Chains A and B, each alone.
Chain A
Amino acid sequence: MDSKGYLDMDLLRFSTAGSVDDGKSTLIGRLLYDSKSIFEDQMEAVTKASQRRGEEGVNLALLTDGLKAEREQGITIDVAYRYFSTPKRKFIIADTPGHIQYTRNMVTGASTSQLALVLVDARKGMIEQSRRHLFIASLLRIPHIVVCINKMDLVDFKEERFEEIKEQFEDFTSKLQTQDISYLPMSALLGDNVVSRSKNMVWYEGPTLMYLLENIHISSDWNRIDVRFPVQHVIRPNTDEFHDYRGYAGRVGGGVLKPGDEIMVLPSGFTSSITSIDTFDGPVKEAYAPMSVTVRIDDDIDISRGDMIIRPNNVPKVGQDIDLMICWLGRQKLTPRGKYALKHTTADVRCVIKEIRYKLNINTLHRMEEAKDIGMNDIARIQIRTTKPLFYDTYRRNRITGSVILIDEGTNETVAAGMII
C-alpha cells in the first residue's frame, strides 16, 4: 500500500436515496464490492442472513440495513454511512431511504453531501420519488447531481429510452437551481457503466459512474471568498510557558484567513489584525474551510463562543428577522407563534415563529399558501425573529453560515432544519 498516495487522497461525501426495488442496494453493493470494501466475513454473514429469510441469492441490502427493525421489515429507516476508497479518493456514502415518510432522513443525508446519486428505473422513467430526490438535492444545495438511469438491460440498452428519460428530467430540473447535473445509463446488476464501460451501450460516450465520482471537481464547493470564522472555544492555557496566550479556536466557515489580515469581530465591531494562526503542528500561513485552527489577534478584545471573526470589508448580514426554508423533522407539529431554541454556527439563541408563508408540495413544487399545518417531513417557508442578531449569509452563498436547526425546548429534540434565504 502506497502511504504517500494515501495522504494525497481527497474526500467526497455523496448521498443516495431510493427504495428497495430501484437497485440502490445493488449499486452500493457493487461500488463496495468492486473497490474491495466488502469483506469475506461480512459477505458470509449476509449470505447466511439471506438464506435464513428464505431469499434467493444474496440480499446486499442486508449489508447496509444494520438495525434489527430494518432487517425485519426489509426497509431502510435511518441514514447509514458507508465507506470506500479508490487510489484517488475516499468516499463517504450517506445512504438514505427514499419514501416520503423519510424525507427528514433524506434531508439529513443531503446536508453534508457534495454529490447526490438519483436512481431511476429505466422501465418506469421519472416518477414522483425521483422528483422528490432532485428537489431535496437542490433545496440542500448539493453542488453535483448524477442521475443514474438504471436497469438499462431491461429496456434492451436502447439509446432512445435513455434520451426520453433524460428529457423528462430536464423538463423538471429547469425549475431547480442546480448547476451540475449528469445523466448516466447503467445496469448496476450487470456492472455496465458502474466501474467499467458498457459494451452494450457503445452509443454512450460519457464517463462511467466511478470515473465521475473520482474526478468531479470538489474543492470549489467550499466558499473561498467571504472570511467567516465562528469562534467555537477560547483557549487560555494559564501555564508558565504560555502565560499570556489567548487563542480563538474554531473551524473556518468561509474565505481564507492569513496572519496580518485586518479583521473585525462581531457583534462588538472591534477591529484588529491576526497575529498568528496556530495548530498543534505549528503555525500555518493560511486557513480555509473546513480546517480547524486557533486564531490569535493583536488586541485584547473580549471575544467568546458564538462571536464571529470576519474581514471589515466583507461583512455578513446581521439581523433578527430571518426568512427560512425549513424541513420539519419533529413528531409534534410546528406551533405557529411558537418559541424554539435555535443553533446557528456556534451561536445559541431563541426564536419565535412569526409567519408561515407557504407549504411546498414537494412532488409538484406547488406553493400552498393557505396550508399552515406543518408536520413531520413537510417543507415550508417561514419567517422567524431571533432574540439576538445572527451573523449569517444566505444558504445559497454559504452552507455553513446559512444553516440553522430549531430545537423544541421541552423535549430537546431537533425539530427543524432551516436554510436561510
Chain B
Amino acid sequence: MISYNLSHLKELEAEGIYVIREVAAQFENPVLMFSGGKDSITMLHLARKAFYPAKLPFPLLHVDTGHNFPETIAFRDELMKKLGLRLIVGHVQDSINQGTAVEEKGVNASRIRLQTTTLLEALEKNQFDAALGGARRDEEKARAKERFFSHRDDFGQWDPKNQRPELWNIFNGRKRMGEHFRVFPLSNWTEMDIWQYILHEKIDIPSLYFSHTRSCVVRNGIILYKSDVLPEIEGEEVKDMEVRFRTIGDMTSTGASLSDADTLEKIIDEVAATRMTERGGRADDKRSETSMEDRKKEGYF
C-alpha cells in the first residue's frame, strides 16, 4: 500500500497557501504587509505559490520607519523589480510631519509604536480590508493567542478576550464597514521551520542575516548598530564586531548577536543550539511584561 504522508513543512506550506487563497476569496481589497524580514519574505513566497501561474491579486505594503537598515530597503526594491510586484510604502516620517505621530525622545527613543499610526493610516487611505502579516505564534506569548483571521475594530484594535473562535479550517472573515482583518498564514511556523524552508526553497534573504563586521555599541546587554539614527551616549565605546541579525526591525531597537554564521546551514546550526528566543534581542519587547499585547491592542500587527 502506498503511504500518503506529507512532511510537516509541506503541510505548513499547504496550510499557508490555503489561508492566503482564502483571503483573496473573502476580501475585496487585501494587502500583504512586507517588512523585508525573513518571515514576510517567506509569506510572499507562499503567496506567489498560491496564485501561480497568475500574478499576486493584491499589492504589498511596507511601513518604512525611516530607521530601517539600508540593506533592507535595497533588498526590498530589488525584489519588487525582479518579481514585478506592486509596492505601497507608508512613511512614519509623513505621520510625524502631519502631526498624527509624535517622535519619542531620549536615548531609548524608538519608532516602533509610531509604526502603528502609519500602518492604520495606510490601511485607511487605501481602504484595505485585510492585511496579511508574517507573525508567528511561537514568537511571543501574546501572539500565541492570535487567530489566523484576526478581527480588528474600526480603530484597528485587537480585543484578545473577545476573539472569534476559529474551528477546523473554516475562516470567518465577515465584518462591518470600516473594520478590517489581520491574517497570519505563518501562524503555526517556528523560527526553525522558516530557516529550513528558506534553505530548502532557496529563497533570497537580506545580507543582514549573515555574519558580517559592523560598528556597534552595547547597551543593557544588547548589541546595537551604531547608525546615524541611534541617539548618542557620551563616552560610549563604539567597536567593530562580527555579528548577524536574527530578526530585522529598526536600527535603533534590533539587537545583533555575535556570530560567525555566514551560510544558511551555519545559521540553522546556530538556531538549533541557541538558548535564547529570537526576540530576546528586541528592546521593544522588553519595555514591560505585556508590551507586545499592549501594542497589539492599539493596532500593531
Which one of A1, A79, A233, A343 contacts B272 once the chains associate, using CB atoms below 8 Å? A1
Measured CA separation A85–B168 after assembly (Å): 22
Least Cβ–Cβ distance between B132 and chain A, in angstroms: 15
Identity of the chain B residue whose Cβ is nearest the Cβ of A252 in the assembled complex:
B14
Contact, CB under 8 Å: A405 / B170: yes
**Interface: B79 (CB within 8 A):** no
Chain A hits for B17, CB < 8 A: 251, 292
Most buried by A among B138, B144, B176, B289: B144
A-B contact pairs, 29 of them (CB 8 A): A7-B196, A39-B276, A39-B277, A39-B280, A41-B276, A68-B293, A81-B187, A83-B138, A83-B190, A112-B168, A219-B5, A232-B21, A237-B53, A239-B53, A239-B55, A242-B54, A249-B51, A250-B21, A280-B48, A292-B18, A343-B170, A346-B25, A400-B169, A403-B167, A407-B172, A407-B174, A412-B174, A412-B175, A414-B166
Least Cβ–Cβ distance between B282 and chain A, in angstroms: 11
**Interface: B6 (CB within 8 A):** yes
Task: Select the stretch in A18-26, A101-109, A147-155, A266-274 that faces chain B.
Answer: A101-109
Contact, CB under 8 Å: B166 / A290: no
**Interface: A211 (CB within 8 A):** no
Task: Select the stretch in B34-42, B106-114, B156-164 that faces chain A.
Answer: B156-164
Contact, CB under 8 Å: B144 / A82: yes
Within 8 A of A (CB), among B1-44: 3-15, 17-18, 21-22, 24-25
Task: Tally chain B residues at the interface, Cβ within 8 Å.
Answer: 70
Contact, CB under 8 Å: A80 / B277: no
Measured CA separation A403–B55 after assembly (Å): 32
Secondary structure dominating the interface of A: mixed
**Interface: A226 (CB within 8 A):** no
**Interface: A15 (CB within 8 A):** no
Measured CA separation A92–B10 after assembly (Å): 15
**Interface: A127 (CB within 8 A):** no
One digit per residue, 1 when the CB lies within 8 angstroms of any chain B CB and 0 when it does not, for chain A 1-30 equals: 101001111110000000000000000000
Least Cβ–Cβ distance between B47 and chain A, in angstroms: 10
Measured CA separation A379–B27 after assembly (Å): 32
Measured CA separation A71–B168 after assembly (Å): 28
Identity of the chain B residue whose Cβ is nearest the Cβ of A410 in the assembled complex:
B176
Contact, CB under 8 Å: A235 / B161: no
Measured CA separation A232–B17 after assembly (Å): 11
Identity of the chain B residue whose Cβ is nearest the Cβ of A281 in the assembled complex:
B49
Measured CA separation A92–B187 after assembly (Å): 11
Measured CA separation A287–B271 after assembly (Å): 33
**Given A7-B196, A90-B8, A219-B4, residue A80 in contact with residue B54 (CB < 8 A):** no
Identity of the chain B residue whose Cβ is nearest the Cβ of A79 in the assembled complex:
B145
Measured CA separation A83–B290 after assembly (Å): 21
Chain B hits for A63, CB < 8 A: 141
Contact, CB under 8 Å: B166 / A108: yes
Identity of the chain B residue whose Cβ is nearest the Cβ of A8 in the assembled complex:
B7
Q: A68-B293, A239-B53, A280-B52 are in contact. List 6 more A-B contacts (CB 8 A).
A: A8-B7, A67-B161, A81-B188, A236-B54, A292-B17, A414-B165
Contact, CB under 8 Å: A403 / B50: no
**Given A3-B200, A232-B21, A291-B6, residue A11 in contact with residue B293 (CB < 8 A):** no
Contact, CB under 8 Å: A10 / B144: no
Chain A hits for B97, CB < 8 A: none
**Interface: B275 (CB within 8 A):** yes
**Interface: B268 (CB within 8 A):** yes
Contact, CB under 8 Å: A235 / B8: no
Within 8 A of B (CB), among A50-78: 63-69, 71, 77-78
Within 8 A of B (CB), among A152-210: none
Which one of A69, A85, A235 contacts B54 once the chains associate, using CB atoms below 8 Å? A235
Chain B hits for A85, CB < 8 A: 190, 192
Contact, CB under 8 Å: A67 / B5: no
**Interface: B71 (CB within 8 A):** no
Measured CA separation A407–B163 after assembly (Å): 14
Measured CA separation A15–B120 after assembly (Å): 35
Chain B hits for A82, CB < 8 A: 138, 144
Task: Tally chain A residues at the interface, Cβ within 8 Å.
Answer: 83
**Interface: B226 (CB within 8 A):** no
One digit per residue, 1 when the CB lies within 8 angstroms of any chain B CB and 0 when it does not, for chain A 404-421 equals: 110100001110010000
Q: Ordered nearest first, which 4 A-B pairs have the shortest CB separation?
A: A66-B141, A11-B8, A280-B49, A237-B54
Chain B hits for A40, CB < 8 A: 275-276
Measured CA separation A368–B37 after assembly (Å): 55
Chain A hits for B4, CB < 8 A: 219, 222, 224, 256, 286, 288
Contact, CB under 8 Å: A290 / B15: yes
Least Cβ–Cβ distance between B45 and chain A, in angstroms: 9
Chain A hits for B166, CB < 8 A: 108, 414
Measured CA separation A107–B168 after assembly (Å): 10
Measured CA separation A385–B221 after assembly (Å): 63
**Given A83-B137, A232-B25, A242-B53, residue A41 in contact with residue B160 (CB < 8 A):** no
**Interface: B142 (CB within 8 A):** yes
Chain A hits for B193, CB < 8 A: 90
Contact, CB under 8 Å: A232 / B18: yes
**Interface: A341 (CB within 8 A):** yes
Chain A hits for B163, CB < 8 A: 78
Contact, CB under 8 Å: A107 / B167: yes
Chain B hits for A68, CB < 8 A: 290, 293
Contact, CB under 8 Å: A343 / B172: yes
Measured CA separation A138–B18 after assembly (Å): 27
Contact, CB under 8 Å: A251 / B169: yes
Which one of A236, A280, A329 contacts B165 once the chains associate, using CB atoms below 8 Å? A329
